[in-house]
Amino acid sequence: MNRLIAAIALGLIAAPAFASGDVDKGAKGFKKCKACHTIAPAEGDVIVKGGKTGPNLWGIIGRQAGTEAEFGKYDEEMVALGEGGLIWNAEELAAYIPNAKEFLRERSGDPKAKTAMTPQKLKDVTDVIAYLSQFGPE
C-alpha cells in the first residue's frame, strides 16, 4: 500500500501538465474504459479491475507505444509507431483516445491501418488523461 501511495504521489509530482484535467471527473469517465482496460501495477493491489481486450494502463504516461509486457495483441502499426519513437504523453493520448483508427492511419501513413479500439465518446478526454497520469511509473 505504501508503494501505491508513493507511486501516486510521484505521478502527481511528475505530471504537472495534467493539472488542467479533473481527476475525479476522469475517474468517472474511465468507467467506459474499464470494459477493456485494467489499471494495475506489476506488484500490488489492482487499482481498477477491467477487461483484457486492451493493455493495462498502469504507467501509460511515458511508456513507449505498443510495449505493455502483458498485452500481446498490439496492431503491427502500433508496435511500429512505438519502435519509431512514439511515447504516450497527454497530447498523444488526447489525439489517440477519441479515434484510435484515424490516429493510426495518420501516424503510420497506412490508410488501411486497423485497431480493435473503438472511437471513445468522452465529455473531456483531458479528465481521463489526468486520472491516468496518477498511476505509475513502476
Ordered by where they begin, the domains of the chain are 2-132 (1.10.760.10)
Element (H, E) at 12: helix 2-14
d(CA 99, CA 128): 15
User: How high is the mean pLDDT in each 10-residue block of the chain (138 residues)?
Assistant: 42 47 94 95 92 95 95 93 97 95 96 91 92 86
Read off the pTM. Answer: 0.82
Q: Is 82 exposed, middle or buried (0-12, 13-18, 19+ CB in 10 A)?
A: middle
Residue position matching grid coordinates 512514439: 86
**pLDDT value at position 4?**
40
Residue position matching grid coordinates 489499471: 39
Nearest to 96 by CA among 76, 127, 118: 118
**pLDDT value at position 137?**
72
Nearest to 133 by CA among 20, 32, 45: 20
